[in-house]
Amino acid sequence: MLKKALAILIIILAVYASFDALLPNKISDLETPLNQFSTERALIQLAEISKKPHYTGSEEHTKVRNYIVSELEKLGLEPQLQEGYTISKWGNLAKPINILARIKGTANTKALMLLTHYDSNPHSAIGASDAGSGVVTILEGLRAFLADGKQPKNDIIIGITDAEELGLNGADLFVNQHHWAKDIGLVLNFEARGSGGPSYMLIETNGGNANLMKQFVAAHPKFPVANSLAYSIYKMLPNDTDLTVFRRDGNIEGFNFAFIDDHFDYHTKMDNYERLDRNTLEHQGSYIMPLLHHFSQANLDQVKSTEDYIYFNVPFFNTVIYPFSWIIPMLIWAIVLFIGLIIYGFRNRKLQLKVIKTGFNSFLLSLITSGIIGYFGWSLLLLIYPEYKELLHGFTYNGHTYICFFVLITLAISFMFYRNTYKVNNTVSLLVAPLTLWLIICTAIALKLEGASFFIIPVYFSLAAFFVLLKQKQPNSFLLTILCIPTLFILAPFVKMFPVGLGLKMLVASAVLVVLIFGLCLPVFGQLKHKKRWSYMFFFFGIVAFFMAHFNSAFTPDTPKPNSLVYTLDLDNNTALWATYDKTLDSYTQNFLGSTPKEASELNKNTFGSKYASGYTYASSAPVKVIPSPKIEVSNDTIINNTRFFNICVMPQRDVQRMELFSDSTNLFKSFKINGVEAYRDKGDSLVFQNRKRNRLFSFYVEKGQMLDMQISVPKNQKTELQLFEASFDLLENDHFSIPPRSPNMIPKPFVLNDAVLVKKTITIE
């Protein structure tokens, strides 16, 4: 009994260690030596940067830029500003102002670039994490590096870009228009997609990652969190950072360092100084210092490779790497060993066919039942708590408790299905089923998702446990427990990573993975007598976790409800509407939309784009206000051969922050230049905006005093109609309205146009 209790304790400690190794557990203070990174020193700068929203073009944005420039000057650098119009592949036009500086190295070699951005997301995000944390990581890292008084071998270029949130426009401006770009050999990019948790290292490369990984390991970061599965998933998702532009347009490789937990704060008012996890900022500091010292001296001409490496982090061993070329041999050897052990087990009457069959039934039933519960779990939660739909990113404030709930219920289910399997020497036969399925999974991974091929490592340790169970009459329970530890070290963090990274809809992945881990740990769990009692215990704690989540499901000032309100004025027919993106109206939105509003599907024909393709949900009539309409001038209207050329200039008559232009898909455009920049055109397209979605042509993010100047060519007989939407983010402050402030348990909804006064005007060229 004591041995089994000790085994369970070791299992618990191994799970704890697998998470504890991901983050520093204390932060560096103001007494930290000057040549070392200090989180508390960095926080002093963050407090200045994250006072208010500072989206591109805002007054606060200018203040933040000036502060960063002054901090670089304090380090003895000579910062410069790069400014110009760019348009992204998403059709977002802006005029970013990048902050650049350069530290001269001793050799004529490729430069190392430290990269982040300083703009916050429009319009209410404070941007302390995204990416104020990146700014202060670089500023404090540079200060500590320069305090050593050593000149680097490679030049160090500092790039703090603008308009990243709008479409990576600042990175596009630098990579494609600044002469320093050709000097860069490697980029270290610091980012955030939440306000806490470990910072994941993700590689951006056009080729293989072998040399990058060898150099990363050689730099010895203290808390590496990196695995080749995460980047394989990252490449499949529509996520881009500034570093993507460097790789895509400049063939420049690099590392992203981004933390993704507490996703509920992302792009919101809650992304503030107080909410940023201090240990997370310490983690960013633990990356920049060793990597800055290493890559400022390394040969950056040798970072490219044609070979790929598997990589993953594990407590006490940091980052483990090996070539992709090992994947198939390791898989084949595992299969051969498994078959050999099966033959050995039957020959020596250690394996029982009846128990193997029972093991398959128990394991597959656990897997299927848990998978079904996980798959429908998020949908069920949305039925119980429809207000969760307002969290567009799909991760609730109590999301970590829900992960805990599903893990506990999955363990309860697994123990329940194995409740009648205990007999002396049964465990070895029960282990056949999970090993068989794991080898099938590893085969599929080797063929379809090579980055996850390190999953074969836990299988090898389970094969070793299988061998011990076959060889020893009284297997050493301590040895069997030790052989389970690599499985927990490697796989346990993924149970949390999947729903944290991809939303609670991925609870199914957590549930399935828990069962798969349970299967590999059967050398310990299989020898527990009273599995039914264990099942009841996990059910009990699971219910406790659910009620904890329930009691924390309400929206409060610390966990506020996102909501949205837009006033839209149609100048074509002199009508106005209140509109919202919310699925569940609250006391704030009902003030304007009423308790029984009409659905707003008609408004969504042409509507501002959003990250999650959100459209207006409800609308109601609003009073028509005298909002200054934009001044529109058409000039240089000429026809040459079969093409009509004309210019359109839009001059806002109020302080607007965004313009959006739409045109029916039947309208064709041969060319389209916007403020001197050619509109984005996919390769091979003969026309501009040939494959546009929802009739959208482009968005223009406006700074005060800017105009929109368009040079357009179309087929000569075409009647061209353009719908112009002009938005200002001042609904709550606009003198034409009396909008009450939100209650403390509400915040502006992110990812959509919000708190805006929207004016629509049709431009017709006949």
Q: What is the pLDDT of residue 694?
A: 79
- Segment 364-387 mean pLDDT: 96
User: What is the domain extent for residue 262?
Assistant: 22-314
pLDDT exceeds 90 at position 512: yes
The string of pLDDT tens digits covering residues 199-233 is 999 999 988 999 999 999 999 999 999 999 987 77
In this structure, is residue 178 part of a structural domain? yes
In this structure, is residue 517 part of a structural domain? yes
Taking every pair of C-alpha atoms in the chain, what is the biggest distance, in angstroms? Answer: 94
In this structure, is residue 14 part of a structural domain? no
pLDDT exceeds 90 at position 5: no
Domain boundary among 525, 551, 577: 551
Residue type, 235: K
The string of pLDDT tens digits covering residues 598-608 is 888 777 677 77
Residue 253 near residue 187, CB atoms below 8 Å: yes
The string of pLDDT tens digits covering residues 426-479 is 899 999 999 999 999 999 999 999 999 999 999 999 999 999 999 988 888 899
The string of pLDDT tens digits covering residues 86-136 is 998 888 999 999 999 999 999 989 999 999 999 999 989 999 999 999 999
- Segment 605-631 mean pLDDT: 85
Q: What is the pLDDT of residue 505?
A: 95
Same domain flag for 537 and 647 = no
Q: What is the pLDDT of residue 609?
A: 64
pLDDT exceeds 90 at position 420: no
Q: What is the pLDDT of residue 238?
A: 65
Same domain flag for 298 and 336 = no
Q: What is the pLDDT of residue 332?
A: 97
Same domain flag for 482 and 565 = no
Same domain flag for 352 and 295 = no
pLDDT exceeds 80 at position 3: no
Same domain flag for 464 and 587 = no
d(CA 359, CA 438): 14
- Segment 385-403 mean pLDDT: 95
Domain boundary among 511, 532, 551: 551
Residue 490's SS3 state is helix
- Segment 413-434 mean pLDDT: 90
Same domain flag for 431 and 386 = yes
Give first-to-last CA distance, the chain, whole Å: 89
Same domain flag for 537 and 652 = no
Average pLDDT, the chain: 94
Same domain flag for 254 and 278 = yes
The string of pLDDT tens digits covering residues 530-548 is 899 999 999 999 999 999 9
Query: Per-residue DSSP letters for 361-419?
Result: HHHHHHHHHHHHHHHHHHHHHHHH-GGGGG-TTS--TTHHHHHHHHHHHHHHHHHHHTT
Same domain flag for 759 and 662 = yes
In this structure, is residue 528 part of a structural domain? yes
Written in H, E and C, the secondary structure of 624-660 is CCCCCCCEEEEEEEEEECCEEEEEEEEECCCCCCEEE
In this structure, is residue 11 part of a structural domain? no
The string of pLDDT tens digits covering residues 672-710 is 999 999 998 877 788 999 888 778 999 999 998 899 999
Question: Which residue matches tokens 């009739």?
Answer: 695
Same domain flag for 233 and 166 = yes
How many CB atoms lie under 10 A from the CB of residue 445?
20
Domain count of the fold of the chain: 3
For position 294, which CATH number holds?
3.40.630.10
Domain boundary among 283, 314, 345: 314
d(CA 117, CA 701): 17
Helix axes 327-347, 432-448, angle to 10 degrees: 160
pLDDT exceeds 80 at position 158: yes
- Segment 728-747 mean pLDDT: 94
Q: What is the pLDDT of residue 571?
A: 95
Same domain flag for 277 and 404 = no
Taking Cα atoms as reference points, which of 699, 695, 698, 697 lies closest to residue 666? Answer: 695
Q: What is the pLDDT of residue 396?
A: 97
**What's the pTM?**
0.94
In this structure, is residue 16 part of a structural domain? no
Give residue 239's pLDDT band: very low, low, confident or very high (50, 70, 90).
low
In this structure, is residue 320 part of a structural domain? no
d(CA 418, CA 526): 8
- Percent of the chain exceeding pLDDT 90 equals 87
- Segment 380-397 mean pLDDT: 95
pLDDT exceeds 70 at position 752: yes
Same domain flag for 477 and 374 = yes
In this structure, is residue 580 part of a structural domain? yes
